[in-house]
């Protein structure tokens, strides 16, 4: 029977008590909470993408524990075209004539009728020697000639009289013979006198010094009033023929049969002269001849080409680059040179095959600058990969510029409460935003950004190309920039993990790019680079690819991170990655790490006031004590060893 409930019962009703409250077990409550957590974890595991990890940087289409994002590549179409066979050589400009003008007689110069550097024609009067002594000598010779001519005439009259008397048998025949000999003697004397007169006249002609060839007069050797002589080594002037003008150059002996065969057919080979940089055409001409023997010490043969030079662009003894067009191959399958890659098995080309890269072994023909002929392996119309191939393997997924990467690593989200719970507890799937950022950076970079994608060190080439895209380059500037960027990427890739070499490659590339830009474009590029450095991005200057960017644009998986500690040849503190975006803050942390005193800190701030550079860092090291320099070097070595968080 239950106990009566507490409280006062209503009037007329029996009294009762309320039942005591029910007590729940604490262990049971904890058990239910633990069960709920277990269920949530199981649901999270079921809905999480197990093993969806981004593939290694050297991976291809996928495999192992996951699939890497598609690589953005630059492409070009294989076309049918003509490829010229060109031979390049370093040549020396040689004038067709280089004459030292000497005087033929001795005497005093009365006048000098030319200016230094003047263009003169053949026969033009250059100088006049005092001719008065030679005029007097002419008069003497002429007087002697008249005297001897008179004696000859008298001897001839006597001979005629003697012949008449001999016919009358009045004189001896011996007397007639003697008179005939005298006439002959006088005739010889007259001939000698005539020669003396002509010699005197010639000396007067020699008093007028004229140009023996047409050309340009060099610096003057003598002045009016000087006494000149036949034995003077320097002469009166030096004349050099500039139009036409020749260029002498050397070719390998292996090219001699090819050139000789073309010349035997009567072909005219075209030669082009470029300046020292090889970028500017100076003159066009024709191949003239080969030397008659090969130099056994060098294995080369000398050759000569002749150029029209009316403007005097080619200067004697100038060094020029010569390109000789030997022949032209027609109907070739032509691809960009950067599309052809070299491996242990031979040359190969990546082609686009339904969103993947296909490796095609090819046989390469002749090359001409940025164009290469492919004899076999691909066909006209195939899309070949020009940029980004260093991060591809056969069958790797690729994206063309402008395409959006698919979210292949995401699994469908579950709907309802289970999906919500899975979203709370499941680990984050591989985020495609990094791939999208890589794709966007490479797409913005076009062909030059192909090597700059992912890996934490890519994007430098893409940012570089993005900067150039804002400069409104002309078609000619773009054509000149393409090989510069390609050379920059090649040198930076060859540098491997050497940060100094990568920075040197970037610096050389920037200098070459500056040479093709207008002053306005240079100023704009400097402004863009300054903004990029301030944002911790690509600087492109002497410090190389700042902000952790790889100058080569390639990010090998096995490569250690770029050393960020300062050194004599490394970037200064303002470029260290992982030390904040504020250069002043980075310098303060470095000062604290090295234990700089107040005076050293003030000097360091003054040194890096204009930004980081090798010169600034050299000055920075100079203000450090030996123990501080050793500490700085130890930090650099530690970072080279992979301790990037030091």
What is the maximum alpha-carbon separation in the chain?
222
Work out the end-to-end distance of the chain between its first and last CA atoms, rounded to an integer number of angstroms: 79
**pLDDT at residue 52, as a whole number:** 42
**pLDDT at residue 446, as a whole number:** 38
Instruction: Give 244-306 as a DSSP string.
Output: SEEEEEEEEGGGHHHHHHHHHTT---EEEEE-TTS-SEEEEEEEEEE-SS-BTTTTEEEEEEE
The torsion angle over the Cα atoms of residues 103, 108, 113 and 119, rounded to 10 degrees, is 30
**pLDDT at residue 443, as a whole number:** 36
Q: Tell me the three state secondary structure of residue 226.
A: coil
**If you search the block for the tokens 């503190």, which residue do you land on?**
573
Measure the CA–CA gap between 519 and 585, rounded to whole angstroms. 34
Among 635, 643, 645, which residue's Cα sits nearest to residue 565?
A: 635
C-alpha distances (whole Å) from 423 to each of 182, 228, 305, 407 are: 141, 105, 77, 17
Q: Tell me the three state secondary structure of residue 209.
A: strand
**pLDDT at residue 176, as a whole number:** 87
Burial of 551 per CB tally in 10 Å (0-12, 13-18, 19+):
buried
* Residue 428 Rama label (left phi>0; alpha psi -120 to 50; beta): beta
**pLDDT at residue 497, as a whole number:** 67
Angle ∠(375,350,487) on CA atoms, nearest 5: 90
**pLDDT at residue 82, as a whole number:** 87
Ordered mean pLDDT values, 10 residues apiece, the chain (646 residues): 45 52 66 81 61 40 54 88 87 91 89 89 90 90 91 90 86 88 91 92 91 89 86 88 92 89 89 89 92 90 92 90 88 89 89 88 85 89 87 86 62 47 44 40 37 40 69 79 79 72 78 80 78 54 38 36 36 40 72 83 82 76 83 74 44
Q: Assess contact for 189 and 151: CB atoms under 8 A.
A: yes
DSSP H/E element including 635: helix 626-640
Measure the CA–CA gap between 560 and 637, rounded to whole angstroms. 12
Question: pTM of this prediction?
Answer: 0.46
* Residue 355 Rama label (left phi>0; alpha psi -120 to 50; beta): left
Measure the CA–CA gap between 543 and 537, rounded to whole angstroms. 12
């Amino acid at each position: 029977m239950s106990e009566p409930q507490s409280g006062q019962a209503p009037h007329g009703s029996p009294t009762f008590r309320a039942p005591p409250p029910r007590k729940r077990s604490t262990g049971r409550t904890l058990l239910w909470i633990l069960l709920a957590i277990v269920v949530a974890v199981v649901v999270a595991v079921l809905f999480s993408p197990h093993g969806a990890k981004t593939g290694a940087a050297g991976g291809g289409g996928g495999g192992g524990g996951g699939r890497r994002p598609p690589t953005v590549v630059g492409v070009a179409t294989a076309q049918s075209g003509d490829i010229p066979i060109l031979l390049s050589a370093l040549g020396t400009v040689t004038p067709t004539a280089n004459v030292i003008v000497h005087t033929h007689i001795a005497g005093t110069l009365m006048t000098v009728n030319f200016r230094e550097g003047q263009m003169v024609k053949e026969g033009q009067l250059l100088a006049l020697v005092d001719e008065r002594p030679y005029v007097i000598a002419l008069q003497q010779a002429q007087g002697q000639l008249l005297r001897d001519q008179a004696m000859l005439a008298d001897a001839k009259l006597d001979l005629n009289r003697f012949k008449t008397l001999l016919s009358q048998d009045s004189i001896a025949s011996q007397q007639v013979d003697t008179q005939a000999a005298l006439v002959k003697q006088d005739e010889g004397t007259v001939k000698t006198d005539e020669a003396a007169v002509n010699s005197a006249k010639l000396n007067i002609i020699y008093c007028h010094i004229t140009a023996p060839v047409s050309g340009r007069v060099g610096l003057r050797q003598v002045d009016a009033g000087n006494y000149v002589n036949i034995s003077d080594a320097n002469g009166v002037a030096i004349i050099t023929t500039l139009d036409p003008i020749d260029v002498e150059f050397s070719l390998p002996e292996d090219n001699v049969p090819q050139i000789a065969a073309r010349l035997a057919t009567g072909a005219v080979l075209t030669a082009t002269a470029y300046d020292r940089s090889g970028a500017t055409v100076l003159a066009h001409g024709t191949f003239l001849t080969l030397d008659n023997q090969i130099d056994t010490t060098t294995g080369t043969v000398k050759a000569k080409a002749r150029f029209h030079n009316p403007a005097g662009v080619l200067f004697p003894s100038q060094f020029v680059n010569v390109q000789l067009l030997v022949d032209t191959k027609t109907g070739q399958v032509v691809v960009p040179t950067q599309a052809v890659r070299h491996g242990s098995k031979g040359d190969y080309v990546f082609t686009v095959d339904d969103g993947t890269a296909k490796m095609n072994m090819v046989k390469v023909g002749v090359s001409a600058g940025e164009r290469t002929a492919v004899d076999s392996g691909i066909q006209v119309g195939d899309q070949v990969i020009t940029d980004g191939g260093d991060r591809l393997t056969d069958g790797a997924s690729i994206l063309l510029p402008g395409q959006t990467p698919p979210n292949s690593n995401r699994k469908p989200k579950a709907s309802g409460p289970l999906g919500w719970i899975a979203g709370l507890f499941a680990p984050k799937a591989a985020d495609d935003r990094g791939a999208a950022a890589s794709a966007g950076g490479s797409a913005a970079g076009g062909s030059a950004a192909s090597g700059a994608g992912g890996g934490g060190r890519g994007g430098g080439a893409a940012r570089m190309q993005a900067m150039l895209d804002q400069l409104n380059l002309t078609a000619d500037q773009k054509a000149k920039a393409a090989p510069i960027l390609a050379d920059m990427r090649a040198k930076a890739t060859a540098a491997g993990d050497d940060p100094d070499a990568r920075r040197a490659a970037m610096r050389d590339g920037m200098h070459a790019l500056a040479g093709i830009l207008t002053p306005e474009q240079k100023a704009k590029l400097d402004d863009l680079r300054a903004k990029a450095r301030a944002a911790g991005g690509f600087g492109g200057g002497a410090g190389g690819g700042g902000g952790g960017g790889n100058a080569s644009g390639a990010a090998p998986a096995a490569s250690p991170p770029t050393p960020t500690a300062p050194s004599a040849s490394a970037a200064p503190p303002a470029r260290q990655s992982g030390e904040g975006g504020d250069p002043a803050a980075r310098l303060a942390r470095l000062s604290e790490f090295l234990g700089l005193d107040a005076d050293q800190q003030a000097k360091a701030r003054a040194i890096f006031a204009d930004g980081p550079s090798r010169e600034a860092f050299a000055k920075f090291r100079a203000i450090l004590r030996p123990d501080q320099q050793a500490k700085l070097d130890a930090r650099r070595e530690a970072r080279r060893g992979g301790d990037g968080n030091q």
